[in-house]
Amino acid sequence: MTDEPIDPSEIGEGNAPSVEDAPYKIIFEANKCIAAGKCAEVSTNWEMDIVTGIAKPDVYFFGESELEHNVDAAMKCPAKKDRGVIHVIDRRTNEEIAPDPNGDGSLSVDW
Protein backbone atom coordinates (compact mmCIF):
# COMPACT_ATOMS: atom_id res chain seq x y z
CA MET A 1 0.00 0.00 0.00
CA THR A 2 1.38 3.39 -0.96
CA ASP A 3 0.76 6.85 0.38
CA GLU A 4 0.27 8.15 -3.14
CA PRO A 5 -2.99 10.03 -3.69
CA ILE A 6 -5.70 8.17 -5.57
CA ASP A 7 -5.90 9.12 -9.23
CA PRO A 8 -9.63 9.86 -9.69
CA SER A 9 -9.48 8.81 -13.33
CA GLU A 10 -8.75 5.24 -12.19
CA ILE A 11 -11.80 4.96 -9.93
CA GLY A 12 -14.05 2.07 -10.96
CA GLU A 13 -12.00 1.04 -13.96
CA GLY A 14 -11.47 -2.51 -12.68
CA ASN A 15 -15.19 -3.32 -13.03
CA ALA A 16 -15.99 -1.09 -15.97
CA PRO A 17 -17.34 -2.00 -19.38
CA SER A 18 -14.95 -1.44 -22.26
CA VAL A 19 -14.14 2.12 -23.26
CA GLU A 20 -15.59 1.40 -26.69
CA ASP A 21 -18.96 0.42 -25.15
CA ALA A 22 -19.04 3.16 -22.50
CA PRO A 23 -16.59 5.98 -23.25
CA TYR A 24 -17.83 8.21 -20.42
CA LYS A 25 -18.01 7.82 -16.68
CA ILE A 26 -19.17 9.65 -13.61
CA ILE A 27 -17.08 10.33 -10.57
CA PHE A 28 -19.42 11.38 -7.79
CA GLU A 29 -18.24 13.06 -4.59
CA ALA A 30 -21.21 11.81 -2.57
CA ASN A 31 -19.68 13.00 0.70
CA LYS A 32 -20.05 16.58 -0.57
CA CYS A 33 -23.58 16.28 -2.00
CA ILE A 34 -25.87 18.93 -0.49
CA ALA A 35 -29.08 17.19 -1.62
CA ALA A 36 -30.32 20.07 -3.76
CA GLY A 37 -31.81 17.63 -6.28
CA LYS A 38 -30.84 19.65 -9.36
CA CYS A 39 -29.24 16.56 -10.93
CA ALA A 40 -32.42 14.51 -10.60
CA GLU A 41 -34.46 17.34 -12.12
CA VAL A 42 -32.51 17.29 -15.38
CA SER A 43 -31.19 13.73 -15.78
CA THR A 44 -32.92 10.38 -15.92
CA ASN A 45 -29.69 8.84 -14.61
CA TRP A 46 -29.94 10.61 -11.25
CA GLU A 47 -32.37 10.04 -8.40
CA MET A 48 -32.66 11.19 -4.83
CA ASP A 49 -32.46 8.53 -2.12
CA ILE A 50 -35.48 9.11 0.08
CA VAL A 51 -33.72 7.75 3.18
CA THR A 52 -30.42 9.61 2.96
CA GLY A 53 -31.54 12.60 0.91
CA ILE A 54 -28.41 12.17 -1.22
CA ALA A 55 -28.43 11.83 -4.98
CA LYS A 56 -27.14 8.76 -6.74
CA PRO A 57 -26.63 7.75 -10.35
CA ASP A 58 -28.24 4.63 -11.77
CA VAL A 59 -25.14 3.98 -13.90
CA TYR A 60 -21.59 5.27 -13.69
CA PHE A 61 -20.43 4.25 -17.18
CA PHE A 62 -22.35 5.25 -20.31
CA GLY A 63 -22.27 6.00 -24.00
CA GLU A 64 -22.91 8.94 -26.27
CA SER A 65 -26.71 8.74 -26.02
CA GLU A 66 -26.55 9.40 -22.25
CA LEU A 67 -23.93 12.13 -22.35
CA GLU A 68 -26.07 15.26 -22.68
CA HIS A 69 -28.29 14.80 -19.64
CA ASN A 70 -25.39 13.64 -17.44
CA VAL A 71 -23.41 16.75 -18.43
CA ASP A 72 -26.49 18.81 -17.63
CA ALA A 73 -26.68 17.19 -14.17
CA ALA A 74 -23.00 17.99 -13.54
CA MET A 75 -23.42 21.58 -14.68
CA LYS A 76 -26.52 22.17 -12.54
CA CYS A 77 -25.00 20.80 -9.31
CA PRO A 78 -24.64 23.71 -6.85
CA ALA A 79 -22.41 21.90 -4.35
CA LYS A 80 -18.86 23.11 -3.69
CA LYS A 81 -19.94 26.68 -4.40
CA ASP A 82 -21.19 25.78 -7.89
CA ARG A 83 -18.09 23.75 -8.77
CA GLY A 84 -20.25 20.61 -8.47
CA VAL A 85 -19.69 17.12 -7.12
CA ILE A 86 -20.73 15.26 -10.28
CA HIS A 87 -17.86 14.87 -12.71
CA VAL A 88 -18.34 13.55 -16.24
CA ILE A 89 -15.08 12.09 -17.53
CA ASP A 90 -14.11 11.10 -21.05
CA ARG A 91 -12.44 7.74 -20.41
CA ARG A 92 -10.49 7.95 -23.67
CA THR A 93 -8.60 11.05 -22.56
CA ASN A 94 -9.26 11.18 -18.77
CA GLU A 95 -10.44 14.75 -19.25
CA GLU A 96 -13.29 16.23 -17.29
CA ILE A 97 -16.07 17.24 -19.66
CA ALA A 98 -18.28 18.73 -16.95
CA PRO A 99 -18.31 20.75 -14.87
CA ASP A 100 -14.65 21.59 -15.76
CA PRO A 101 -14.46 24.70 -13.55
CA ASN A 102 -10.76 25.08 -14.34
CA GLY A 103 -11.49 25.23 -18.06
CA ASP A 104 -8.65 22.90 -18.93
CA GLY A 105 -10.16 19.41 -18.67
CA SER A 106 -8.35 18.63 -15.44
CA LEU A 107 -10.25 16.65 -12.83
CA SER A 108 -11.82 18.94 -10.25
CA VAL A 109 -12.40 16.17 -7.71
CA ASP A 110 -11.71 17.54 -4.24
CA TRP A 111 -10.98 14.64 -1.87
17-98: CATH number: 3.30.70.20
Rounded Cα distance between 53 and 88, Å, is 22
Q: Is the pLDDT of residue 1 over 60?
A: no
Sign of CA dihedral 41, 96, 13, 31: negative
Task: Please state the rounded mean pLDDT for residues 61-72.
Answer: 98
Q: What's the pLDDT tens digit per position in 73-106?
A: 999 999 999 899 999 999 999 999 999 999 999 9
| Domain regions of the chain by residue span | 17-98
The pLDDT value recorded for residue 2 is 58
B/e letters for 95-105, b = 16+ CB within 10 Å, e = fewer, are ebbbbbeeeee
Q: What percent of the chain has pLDDT over 70?
A: 94
